[in-house]
Amino acid sequence: MTGHIAVTDDGGVRTIRMNRPEKKNALTLAMYLAMTNALREADQTGAVRCVLFAGGPDVFTAGNDLADFMKAADGGLDPRAHEFITSLARAQKPMVAAVNGVAVGLGTTMLLHCDYVVAGTGAKLMTPFLKLGLIPEAASTMLAPMRMGHARAFALLAMGRPLSAEEAKEAGLVNTVVSPAEVDGIALKAAQEIAALPSRALTLARSLMRLPLETILQRMETESGHYKDLLQSDEARAAFQAFFSRNQ
């Protein structure tokens, strides 16, 4: 396990906490791998009944590490991010998210795979994919319009307009908005409530409520093909450079 991902099991709930505050929890390849392993292991561990994703008090995650994107623009895409994305789709155990502060890129699109989302009042969801010359991933091009309608999904995913916690709740992306200090506790309570449900019935109900796995995986593949191409485009390279040279 990497030091930037803390995995703890307690009372049927596995908490996967992103912990790289100095870089706003930007997701490195090692973090993706650790989260993928923690999710896969959760499925194989009977005692784990629900997974809880959490970040820090000021930030959920700044999304993919842009330094890794710059490397990918030159050397090709490492499969670890994609493996995490597909492991979200494949996960059998229900997933809860506790979101404080900004949730960027995958930080927002992963919420579409979660079953219950608690957000703090200051939370901000944003997906600047197009501004980076990329397209949205994690099957969000399919799941977001279904969840919130095309108009809202387009503003979020294509125009990169952020959603406040309240707007995200209104859009059906977030279940409840609470004070930042309460986020972790209320999310844990929800996860414990889910963990206490009869497990066979829970697994069945959850899988029946979701789109067929193959449909989701197919969309992820399609997005990923375009994503790989776009990562190597001049527009994307320029956007990554601009981020790192913004204070120079």
Measured in whole angstroms, the distance separating CA 19 from the mean position of its chain's CA atoms is: 14
Shortest Cβ 72–ligand COA spacing (Å): 12
Nearer to ligand COA, 11 or 225 (CB): 225
- Site residues (vs ligand COA, CB under 6 A): 23-24, 26, 62-67, 102, 104-105, 128-129, 132, 243
CB 107 within 8 A of CB 136: no
Shortest Cβ 92–ligand COA spacing (Å): 27
User: Taking Cα atoms as reference points, which of 102, 12, 88 lies closest to residue 55?
Assistant: 102
Shortest Cβ 48–ligand COA spacing (Å): 29
CB 23 within 8 A of CB 68: no
Write the DSSP assignment of 162-230 as a string of letters: -EEHHHHHHTTS-SEEE-GGGHHHHHHHHHHHHHTS-HHHHHHHHHHHSPPHHHHHHHHHHHHHHHHHH
- Going by DSSP bridges, is the β-strand pair 5-10/13-18 parallel, antiparallel, or unpaired? antiparallel
Q: Count CB-CB contacts under 10 A for residue 108.
A: 29
Specify burial of residue 245 (Cβ count, 10 A radius: 0-12, 13-18, 19+): exposed
Shortest Cβ 122–ligand COA spacing (Å): 12
Closest CB to ligand COA: residue number: 105
Nearer to ligand COA, 183 or 194 (CB): 183
DSSP state of 157: I
Nearer to ligand COA, 69 or 116 (CB): 69
User: Taking Cα atoms as reference points, which of 62, 53, 54, 58 lies closest to residue 23?
Assistant: 62
The Cα–Cα gap between 106 and 101 comes to: 14
Nearer to ligand COA, 15 or 64 (CB): 64
Nearer to ligand COA, 199 or 232 (CB): 232
Shortest Cβ 221–ligand COA spacing (Å): 18
Shortest Cβ 195–ligand COA spacing (Å): 31
Specify burial of residue 106 (Cβ count, 10 A radius: 0-12, 13-18, 19+): buried
Nearer to ligand COA, 94 or 120 (CB): 120
Nearer to ligand COA, 26 or 42 (CB): 26
Shortest Cβ 102–ligand COA spacing (Å): 5
Retrieve residue 186's tokens.
């209320």
